[in-house]
Every structure is written in C-alpha cells, then in structure tokens.
Structure 1
Amino acid sequence: MALELVTVPCLSDNYAFLLQDDASGATAVVDVPEAAPILETASARGWTITEVWITHHHADHTQGLADVLAEHKAVVRGGAADAHKLPPLDHTYSGEDLFDFAGHEVRVIDVPGHTTGHIAFYVADAAAVFTADSLMALGCGRLFEGTAEQMWGSLTRLMALPAETTVCSGHEYTASNAKFALTIDPDNPKLISRSVAINAARAAGEATVPSTLALEMDTNPFLRASNPDIRAHLGMTDAADVQVFAEIRARKDAF
C-alpha cells in the first residue's frame, strides 16, 4: 500500500501537501493556504481529493478550503480545541487520537505553542509528519497564543518520532532561519554545511521543505536546548532545557 507525497508551494512562502494512497486513489491535502495550486497539482496527476487535514486556524492554512471543497467532496478533519475557530469540520481530534486513511493509521499529536489548538499528523506508513507551524525547517513557530513551556513540550513529542521521519512544515523560512541558527550554534559543522546548501537551493529557486527529523535534530537550535555548546554560548550552562529554549525563541523574535 504505497503512499505518494507531493509538496505544493502556495501563496508567497506557504506549503500544502498532497498524500495519495496508490491502491485506492484516496488523496488527502494537509492545509489549504490557497486553492489554485492545490487544485492544479491534483488535476495534473488525475487525483481526486477525498480528505482535508487542517493543522491550525490561521488563515494562511485554511483560506483555500471553500474553493477546494467546491470541486472535491472531501471529508475535513481538524483539531477539537480549534474547532470554534476553524471552518466546519466533519471530524475533530485531540492529541494521540488515531484515524484511518485508506488503511493507513494517522496519529494526531497535540503541538500547542504557535496556537493553543495546533495539531500535527503523523503517518508512519509514509514516514512523514505534517507539522505546519510547530516544528519548522531550522525553526519553530512564533508563540502567538501558547507559551514556551507548551512549545517545548510539543517539540519534545515530535523529537520522539523516528529519526528518518520526513518533516513537512508549513513555510519557506529556512534561509532566514539558518542565518539566525548560526548566531546560536556558530561552530556546528552540520549547520554550516546545511546553510550553504540552503542558500544554493534558494538561489536555484528550489524548495528547502520538507526536511528530515534527523537533520533538524542535528542543526535546528530550537531542538538543541540540551546541547552543551549552545548552553555555553548562551551563558546558560546550568539552566533547564525549557529555559534555554525560551531564550532562543526570545532571541529569534528580536532577530
């Protein structure tokens, strides 16, 4: 039962993702920043969208929904905590809930911080997690509604997934995130190498999303609060991990 994953650039720097089960033709789209590129990508592949999975309520992840549903009679899934802020949902979920997608188990993970009702979707059969604005390529979402403690807990849950997991995040912020990351972790050779590769990819007009969890854990400063070099660089050798994370997040807000 093979699954095919397609990244769809939307708006100026958003991403949606199409996930199709080859055997049944069932096709899910994760987040709907705008309809046109999603519909065009599905049409070009001859796919019918059967499900929409929404990670959180921000307009740049939901505003294309009505136009997608006008062409595809899809089931809409989203977080229970955000249901009052989201378009009408057919099914709502909280952390560690499971649902079936064409015979594939989908695990919902609560990832508050960017918003209090943010969820992620983990599909083991695709070795992919859809994190939107929680864990991002070399970053994490700004804390618009939640706390540093909540976001650190969210990232800790995501870090527990298999290292080979593909991280499908919601924005093309990676180049600017890399510049910031180098101010926190300047002597990390893997980060330096990744930064060079990111700049080359962007110069060629290529996407830097998705990434992998292993790469994020090696290079993303928001996942590396326990790293002794980062702690020494910040002058926080004896601080709790969540305090180090909060300091990194505060520095990014002012960067």
Structure 2
Amino acid sequence: MPVEIKLFMCRTDNFGALLHDRDSGETAIIDAPEEAPIIDAITHSGWTPSMLLITHHHGDHVEANLALKRRYKLRIIGPEAERDKIPGIDDTVEEGSVIPFGEERIEVISTPGHTAGHVCYHLPKAKAAFTADTLFAMGCGRLFERPAPVMFESLKKLAALPADTAIYCGHEYTLSNARFALTVDPDNAALQARAAKVEALRAEGKPTLPTTIGEELATNPFLRWADPAIRKHLGMEKASDVEVFAEIRRRKDNF
C-alpha cells in the first residue's frame, strides 16, 4: 500500500496518527493531542511532516498545534466552520474538499454533531478514514454542539463508505462502548464475540483499532438504528430511525 499509517497513544486515551506516502515522501499528522508522543512517533518513523489535519477544535485534538508548527514548519488544515477556534490554522476545508497527498486524495466529509464543524478525512485508495470523535469503535461522540438528528445524518455518511474501509477514531473507548452496546443489543452474536475479543486486547494493554465500516455495521448500535432486535429491546418498533438513534445516545450518556 503506498500510504503507510502509524497509530500511537497520546494523553490517557487519545490516538495520534501519522500518514506517509511512500512514493512522494509526504507525511501528514492527524490531530495534535500531545506534543511529546507525536514528536517521538515522527522521530522513530524518520518521516518529516508537512501538514497537520485537524478534525475539530477540542483541546485534546489541537493542544500541540503551535508547538508542532514551530518545530516542523508545517501547514495546519482544519474545518472552515471552526477556523476561529483552531490554533495556527492556515487553510480550511469543508464538505467535498480534497487535499492532494502524493497519489492519494484525502476527501473531507463534514460530520457535525460532536462539534458544530467536525470533519472526517477519507483516503479512498488506502481504504481508510479518520473519524476522530464522530464514529468510535462500537460508539459515537457525545452531542456537545449539535442535536441527535444532525449527528444521525453525519453517521449515515460514514456508514455509506465501503465496508472494507479501515476506521481510525480519536479515542480508545472501545471496551466501555462494547459493554454499553451489549445492554441495547444483547442477543447479537457478532457483538458478543467482538466484546470478548476487546476485553482480551485491553487486558493485555493492546489497542483495539483499526476497525472497519463492515465491523461497525454488524456491532455498533449507533449505526444499527433499523435493526429489529434493537428496536424490540428498546420498545421502539414503530419509531423513526433518528428517534431510535437518539434514544441509544441518551442511554449511553447515562451509562
């Protein structure tokens, strides 16, 4: 694969990520949760980053922006809707924007919900997407700045990506998400098997990413609003899809 992806931990549960195009030598950073782990990952990789792609303005995703910009003279790119909240931003993107990256196209998907201007980055050739705090493994982000119907539409966009798309999200929340998912989808055999696998991985201190769109469609209740078993369990057989999604999100908020 011409694009290499390195995933590593920052802070207590954030993921950092480096993208490297082998042919052009171009390197990008996805979000900037913490300076030291990112510099360490760059040093060990031997890659020199030229751009930093920001998904949203929350502090645990932009904390190291200015330090990294000073150190590497890189260009910071982030969502137009949040440009005033992103330190050091140079260029902005929105739904449909394309960022050239070697032979790859980094496509921008607008996914408001967690924040008003959250974006995700999709690499179609590499079959990968960076979904930060919109879509998690077996979860989705809290609705801080936009209501459930807005996040619902954002998740529909991600659910429509090819099933083999690898998903790299912003936090290691998978174990908690799996335990919650079983409370609303208890008879799902695929979910039961995945939850057991996640328990084992975390017991060994291993990360649970990447996941895939296909795996999420099979086990993530936040993408399974139409599933009859979930609807029956919630007593919402006749509710709309967005009403089911909103109820699942409400329950997770109180889990």
- Looking at structure 2, the residues matched to 241 and 8 of structure 1 have their Cα atoms a distance apart, in angstroms, of 35
Match of residue 226 from structure 1: 226
Tell me the CA shift for residue 178 of structure 1: 0.6
- Looking at structure 2, the residues matched to 176 and 88 of structure 1 have their Cα atoms a distance apart, in angstroms, of 34
Match of residue 162 from structure 1: 162
Tell me the CA shift for residue 238 of structure 1: 0.7
Match for 1:136: what amino acid?
F
Match of residue 26 from structure 1: 26
Q: Secondary structure at the match of 2:125?
A: helix
Match of residue 143 from structure 2: 143
Match of residue 179 from structure 2: 179
Match of residue 109 from structure 2: 109
Tell me the CA shift for residue 55 of structure 1: 0.1
TM-score normalised by L of structure 1: 0.98
Match for 2:28: what amino acid?
A
- Looking at structure 2, the residues matched to 15 and 182 of structure 1 have their Cα atoms a distance apart, in angstroms, of 24
Match of residue 82 from structure 1: 82
Tell me the CA shift for residue 88 of structure 1: 2.7
Tell me the CA shift for residue 103 of structure 1: 2.8
Match of residue 50 from structure 1: 50
- Looking at structure 2, the residues matched to 93 and 70 of structure 1 have their Cα atoms a distance apart, in angstroms, of 22
Tell me the CA shift for residue 181 of structure 1: 0.2
Q: Does the 8 Å CA contact 2:11/2:33 hold for their aligned counterparts?
A: yes
Match for 1:227: what amino acid?
D
Q: Secondary structure at the match of 2:117?
A: coil
Task: Summarize deviations over 1:86-127 as a string: whole Å, max 9, x none.
Answer: 113221011111121123111100100000110000011211
Tell me the CA shift for residue 70 of structure 1: 2.3
Task: Summarize deviations over 1:129-152 as a string: whole Å, max 9, x none.
Answer: 110000011100000111100000
Match for 2:91: what amino acid?
H
Match of residue 4 from structure 1: 4
Percentage identity across paired residues of the two chains: 47
Task: Summarize deviations over 1:149-181 as a string: whole Å, max 9, x none.
Answer: 000000000011100001110001110111100
- Looking at structure 2, the residues matched to 155 and 108 of structure 1 have their Cα atoms a distance apart, in angstroms, of 14
Aligned length: 255
Tell me the CA shift for residue 29 of structure 1: 0.6
Match for 1:141: what amino acid?
G
Q: Secondary structure at the match of 2:95?
A: coil
Task: Summarize deviations over 1:171-224 as a string: whole Å, max 9, x none.
Answer: 011101111000000000000000000000001110012211111110000000
Match of residue 253 from structure 2: 253
Q: Could you list the runs of 5+ residues in structure 1 that have no partner in the other structure?
A: none
Tell me the CA shift for residue 85 of structure 1: 1.0
- Looking at structure 2, the residues matched to 2 and 21 of structure 1 have their Cα atoms a distance apart, in angstroms, of 6
Match for 1:234: what amino acid?
L
- Looking at structure 1, the residues matched to 74 and 8 of structure 2 have their Cα atoms a distance apart, in angstroms, of 18
Q: Does the 8 Å CA contact 2:66/2:88 hold for their aligned counterparts?
A: no
TM-score normalised by L of structure 2: 0.98
- Looking at structure 1, the residues matched to 35 and 125 of structure 2 have their Cα atoms a distance apart, in angstroms, of 27
Q: Secondary structure at the match of 1:81?
A: helix
Match of residue 195 from structure 2: 195
RMSD (Å) for aligned C-alpha atoms: 0.9
Task: Summarize deviations over 1:54-99 as a string: whole Å, max 9, x none.
Answer: 0000000000112212221111110000101111322101111112
Shift in alpha-carbon separation, 1:160–1:227, aligned structure 2, 3 A: same
Match of residue 121 from structure 1: 121
- Looking at structure 2, the residues matched to 100 and 225 of structure 1 have their Cα atoms a distance apart, in angstroms, of 35
- Looking at structure 2, the residues matched to 86 and 151 of structure 1 have their Cα atoms a distance apart, in angstroms, of 21
Match for 1:145: what amino acid?
E
Q: Does the 8 Å CA contact 2:65/2:88 hold for their aligned counterparts?
A: no
- Looking at structure 2, the residues matched to 217 and 35 of structure 1 have their Cα atoms a distance apart, in angstroms, of 34
Match of residue 41 from structure 2: 41
